[in-house]
Amino acid sequence: MSEKVSITGQIAEVQREIALRRNVYPTRVRDGKMRQGEADLCMRRIEAVLATLMFCQANEADIRAYIADKKAVSE
């Protein structure tokens, strides 16, 4: 199995990717290599990934407690 990546590291990487896309997509659209609708959809998707990761980070303790409770019930 691959090395674990912290949620903070995942968030940082997604933020880096969003910045990259904000720089690249306008040129791709202008050059006709990507439609504006496609660029918009891709940005909405990656921003949703960021929102999900940030939610998980903000609620990590509750999520871990929920998982532990479910595991304890099934044992």
Q: Above pLDDT 70, what percent of the chain? A: 99
Band (pLDDT 50/70/90 cuts) for residue 75 is confident
Q: For 37-51, what is the mean pLDDT?
A: 98
Those residues with Cβ within 8 angstroms of residue 17's Cβ, 6 or more apart along the chain or in another chain: 46
What radius of gyration, in Å, describes the C-alpha atoms of the chain? 18
Q: Is the confidence at residue 18, as pLDDT, over 70? A: yes
3 state DSSP class of 33: coil
39, amino acid identity: A
pLDDT of residue 1: 66
Among residues 8, 5, 4, 2, the alpha carbon closest in space to that of 56 is found at 8
Domain ranges of the chain: 7-74
Are 7 and 56 within 8 A, CB to CB? yes
Band (pLDDT 50/70/90 cuts) for residue 2 is confident
